[in-house]
């Protein structure tokens, strides 16, 4: 089973950009779908973006559609979340997840079995 390690979080000004990375040391994402979730203080973990690589399909939460983009490298060993146009409401701990969700579960935490430790994203002036 792969392990996931996120990186790329930090402090950014409103309107700025960050790119989060999720690596799978010693493994690849080739047999998994991948999702990004986030959790703000006092709130439940929520879906951000996901990709079913085998189908070439991507999914985004309405709150990030048009601003965030999920992608992966050619070796299938790193998954990225490019975040543009960040605003304070995007402040949260961001988690990478991998699994084999079906369409009805791809936007739910229950659709994934492997999670990273999270990386903090803070959007503030």
Q: Tell me: the pLDDT tens digits for 50-107?
A: 999 989 999 999 999 999 999 998 887 899 999 999 999 999 999 999 999 888 999 9
**What pLDDT is recorded for position 72?**
93
Neighbouring-strand partners of residue 45: none
Q: Residue 114: pLDDT above 80?
A: yes
**What pLDDT is recorded for position 42?**
95
CA dist 117 and 7 (Å) reads 10
**What pLDDT is recorded for position 30?**
78
What beta strand segments (E) does 13-118 contain? 18-23, 33-39, 46-52, 57-60, 68-72, 78-83, 92-99, 114-115
Q: Residue 7: pLDDT above 80?
A: yes
CA dist 11 and 21 (Å) reads 16
Q: What value does the mean pLDDT of the chain take?
A: 94
What three-state secondary structure class fits 54? coil
Residue with tokens 């990225």: 80
Least confident piece of the model among 7-11, 14-18, 26-30: 26-30
Q: How confident is the model at residue 31 (pLDDT cuts 50, 70, 90)?
A: confident
């Amino acid at each position: 089973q792969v392990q996931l390690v996120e990186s790329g979080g930090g402090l950014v000004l409103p309107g700025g950009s960050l790119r989060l990375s999720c690596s799978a040391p010693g493994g690849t994402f080739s047999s998994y779908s991948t999702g990004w979730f986030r959790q703000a203080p006092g709130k439940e973990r929520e879906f951000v973006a996901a990709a079913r690589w085998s189908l070439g399909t991507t999914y985004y939460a309405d709150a990030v559609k048009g601003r965030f983009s999920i992608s992966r490298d050619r070796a299938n060993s790193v998954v990225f979340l490019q975040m543009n146009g960040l605003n304070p409401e995007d402040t949260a701990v961001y988690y990478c997840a991998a699994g084999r969700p079906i369409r009805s579960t791809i936007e739910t935490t229950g659709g994934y079995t492997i999670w990273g430790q999270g990386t903090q994203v803070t959007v503030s002036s």
